[in-house]
Amino acid sequence: MTDPRPAPTEPAPAAHDAAAKPSAWSRLAENPLPSILAAVIVVLLGYNLTVTNDRISDTNDRISRLEDRMDARFAAQEAKIAALDAKIDALDDKVDAKFGELDAKIDDLNLKLTALIVALETSGAIDGIVEIQVTATQPADYVPTP
């Protein structure tokens, strides 16, 4: 049992779609405003990116110059600090030498005083001086106890 009706003929899909949708060029010819606006937006975005990149480059250049100036100033300060450090070291050495001289003089005086004390003790002059000082500091009515 075959179907006596003939099969309907279907149009080719490409031909059907082509007839339903106009081509991009035909749409552009009918309404150029969206294309012009899209081109303007693309140009403005490109310009904005270019300007932004130039600004970033300028900012990086300014930062580099600032870093160079700061490095130069830090180098100058380090040189000043090194000079002051050298002066302080020289003064420290000078003070140490002066203390060394004074220690030598004190040692020499100590030796002389020791020799003088030994000489006085051997001569007996210290005992006489102590007796004179004891009697001079006592009151007149003082009676020594035996």
Dist. CA 63–CA 70, nearest whole Å: 10
Amino acid in position 51: V
Dist. CA 117–CA 37, nearest whole Å: 116
Dist. CA 44–CA 125, nearest whole Å: 115
Q: What's the pLDDT at 85?
A: 96
Dist. CA 69–CA 76, nearest whole Å: 11
Averages of pLDDT over runs of 10 residues in the chain (146 residues) are 60 54 71 83 90 89 95 96 96 96 95 88 72 63 62
Tokens of 63: 């930062």
Q: What's the pLDDT at 133?
A: 63
Amino acid in position 9: T
Q: What's the pLDDT at 36?
A: 86
Q: Which residue intervals of the chain are DSSP H helices?
A: 13-20, 24-30, 33-123, 125-137
Whether the CB-CB separation of 20 and 14 falls below 8 Å is answered with no
Domain positions in the chain:
31-137
Q: Tell me how far CA of residue 134 lies from CA of 46, 83, 122, in angstroms.
A: 112, 63, 21
Dist. CA 43–CA 41, nearest whole Å: 5
Question: 110: Cβ–Cβ under 8 A, 6 or more apart, which residues?
Answer: none
Q: What's the pLDDT at 110?
A: 94
